[in-house]
Amino acid sequence: MKYLLVAGARPNFMKIGPIYKAFSSRRNGPSTADVLLVHTGQHYSRNMSDDFFRDLDIPEPDINLEVGSGSHAEQTARIMMAFEPACLEHHPDWVIVVGDVNSTVACALTSKKLGIRVAHVEAGLRSRDMSMPEEINRLCTDAISDLLFTTDTLAVENLRNEGVAHEKIHFVGNTMIDTLCQKIDHARQLPLPDGLAPGKYAVLTLHRPANVDSPQRLALIIGAINAIADRIPVVFPVHPRTTPRLKEIEIHPRIRIVEPMSYLPFLGLVARSRMVLTDSGGIQEETTVLGIPCLTMRPNTERPITCEIGTNVLVGTDPQRIVREAHWILDGNTRPGAIPEKWDGRAGERIVDVLLNQPAQLSGLSC
Ligand code: UD1
């Protein structure tokens, strides 16, 4: 059997690493020549891509499609046009896609139309917010996938409610948390940025189009963070989408703006912080496992398990609510948090177990 394992954007790299390693560790599994890493090139800057491969010990991609940035239609189309010849050249039995970025849906669609089976890792997450490009990507990818690997039981329920056949769904845990388990000791040993002490700073990330593409919305959120910075310094690694939008906004001197960080330094920063303010998806999960309070500045989340049993609170984008919740934490209050089932560092192993048990497909490429 031959597998193409696809990643395209920053949050994908932590999700493919454990799957690649689980394949490599199988004595009777496929050889490395039969598990090919595909990088679509959706993210391409050194600190959004290459540094992650280095930090995560993932080998250089076998195939780099180098598609770069563009509108959603341009980027998705370019990935599809570049991925199709790769499929025709390598004839995979399975294409494995992860997460919810444009690369995920583009490669799933391309494969399925060629008659290649698709496995989706992190299936079944739903924000119910169709204004999020990621929600559209999740729905489309899940609708056509042959195997759906879920991170939690709520995602299993979502898929069952949508009528997905029981035998396609496998609750395996969270490969991003596999990576965290492998790397946390190393990350904690890295020095913190100058002048920061453990437990005495907050971390901020902001990159959702709904938050950063509107100058008014961004100014309101930064206004709230300015108020929080009166009490605690805030480290803000700024995503390239957000950088140009910050120019017109007044920023508190205790908000430290830094370049996007690669995986290990960022994990080390979060793990020793007092709290995290974010609009990211994956950081909601990482803070839950680390037991760090997380305020998610969005009206909804596709990861409700992190609020139900973890340390995450959805605070929306009302500045007063953001400041109130942050003060509550800084006053010493805590919510007891637990770690979701199967977030135990072994999801990659479970995924490979399922894949290696799949029968060969009788028909070949439909092209
Ligand atoms: C994408 C994903 C989002 C994910 C995020 C993580 C989609 C629809 N969105 O959003 O789900 O949470 O990645 O970062 O797939 N840029 C660079 N260097 C890069 C990549 C991007 O400078 O390596 C800049 C470009 O100006 C680009 C902008 O960032 O236009 C946005 O990048 P893009 O990949 O379109 O979307 P993200 O906001 O990163």
Does 136 sit in the ligand 1 pocket, CB within 6 Å? no
Q: Which residues pair with 37 in a beta bridge?
A: 5
Cα dist from 112 to 20, 87, 133, whole Å: 22, 11, 21
- Is the CB of 48 within 6 Å of ligand 1? yes
Measured CA to CA, the distance from residue 176 to residue 170 in angstroms comes to 16
Question: DSSP string covering 197-217, please?
Answer: -TTS-EEE----HHHHSSHHH
222-247 average pLDDT score: 97
Q: Describe the strand order of the beta sheet including 63-64 as a list of residue ranges.
A: 63-64, 35-39, 3-7, 94-98, 117-121, 147-150, 169-171
Mean pLDDT of 193-215: 96
Residue 335 CA, ligand 1 centroid: distance in Å: 32
- Predicted pLDDT of residue 248: 87
Cβ neighbours of residue 156 closer than 8 Å, sequence gap 6 or more = 124, 150, 169, 171
> Residue 272 and residue 200: Cα distance in Å, rounded?
8
Please tell me the pTM assigned to this model.
0.97
Please indicate whether residue 207, judged by its CB atom, sits closer than 6 Å to ligand 1: yes
d(CA 9, CA 240): 13
Q: Strand (E) positions, 164-238?
A: 169-171, 202-204, 234-237
Whether the predicted pLDDT of 347 surpasses 90: yes
Q: What is the pLDDT of residue 27?
A: 80
With bands split at pLDDT 50, 70 and 90, how would you rate the model's confidence at 366?
Answer: low
pLDDT tens-place string over residues 20-69: 999 999 887 888 779 999 999 999 999 999 999 999 999 999 999 999 99
- At 367, the pLDDT band (50, 70, 90 cuts) reads low
Interval 256-274: pLDDT, tens? 999 999 999 999 999 999 9
How many angstroms does the Cα of residue 161 sit away from the middle of ligand 1?
A: 31
70 lines ligand 1 (CB under 6 A): no
What pLDDT score was predicted for residue 361?
83
> What is the 151 CA–ligand 1 centroid distance (Å)?
23
Q: Distance between CA 101 and CA 48 in Å, rounded? A: 14
Ligand 1 binding pocket mutation candidate from 6, 69, 79 (most atoms within 8 A of CB): 69
Asked if residue 42 has its Cβ within 6 Å of ligand 1, the reply is yes
Question: If you ran DSSP here, which 8-state letter would residue 163 be given?
Answer: T
